Amino acid sequence: MEYCFQHLKGSCPKARRLVLIKVGMYMFMVGTIFLTVCGNLIVIISIFHFKQLHSPTNFLILSLGCVDCLLGALVMPLSMIRSIETCWYFGELLCKIHSSFDMMISMASIFHLSFIAIDRYYAICEPLRYKSKITIFVIAIFIGVSWLLSLGFAFGVVFSNVNIIGIEELVISNSCVGACVLIFNKQWGLLATLVAFLIPGIVMISLYMKIFLVARRHARLINNISEKDVSQNDNKNKVAYNRERKAARTLSIVMGVFLFCWLPFFIATLIDPFIDFSTPPILFDALVWFGYFNSTCNPIIYGLFYPWFQKAFKIIITGKIFCHNSLLLNLFPDSGV
């Protein structure tokens, strides 16, 4: 039997894996971390650098990119070592900090997506009120709430230990040196799922359903207009509308991928206290990484569906971003979609 710390009494047992399997796991996870960090850095640099991308929606996407980039840079590397070695080598304090950051960033991601859904709702369903309702000040409030609420909830729960009230004996009996596991009692498991996932998820789904209903109605009206009756101004409106509709569709895909990646984890977190915490640790670990993969997917989605991201990516990797006045380059195709 191998232990995390062979010289310490009460050390956690260490799972034995073939060297080839461990090397393969490290290669896969390092590649995932690299894609997560670099992909989101390109999103951050693109929106920050090019003036044409300085819009309320893109500032929210910029902040979401920062969240995903921090996950790849700060959380995933330590989680990788814990997952592969099945041991935590960095001490109890860093375990609490890591668990807090882990929870904070996952919450911040879904809060950002909720506010992006609100932004898209006004842009598509109430375009005449959009500029008056969704100002830079409002976007700053959205971003501040996403970060501060997530930070306060995550660090407050982990460092106050309210998540283990009533199950202290179970936690003590199963604790050992080299473990770093965050578990929730029934009350806080339900509350965390409601606050971090269920309520924002329902808000997003409701808003996007409304958006698609309005988009379908607008598309039907536009198709009924004869081409000879369409003025130049109407053409401009149609181009602008098509751009907004495509943006809404793309952002809904981002939301859908998020729900697909994180839903299994939150379901497991919710039901685990009701089945006497019998969920296998390896399953929980796999679900966490499945959730992490969402942050890797977001830049890929931008690359597939946003022409401006594709053009910005080419400008960055070819070094043209360092040319004079590169921040004024036109990133949108002439069609506007």
Measured distance CA(186)–CA(215) in Å, rounded = 41
Percent of the chain beyond pLDDT 90?
37
State pTM to two decimals.
0.86
- pLDDT-wise least confident of 29-33, 104-108, 330-334: 330-334
DSSP reduced 3-state for 11: strand
pLDDT tens, position by position, 318-329: 888 888 788 888
**CATH number attached to the domain at 89-308:** 1.20.1070.10
Give the phi and the psi of residue 216 in degrees, each rounded to 5: -65, -40
Residue in the structure block whose two tokens are 């890591």: 98
- Our CA angle for 291, 38, 91, nearest 5°, is 55
pLDDT tens, position by position, 204-254: 888 888 887 777 776 666 666 645 455 555 555 555 556 656 666 776 787
User: What is the structure's pLDDT at 212?
Assistant: 75
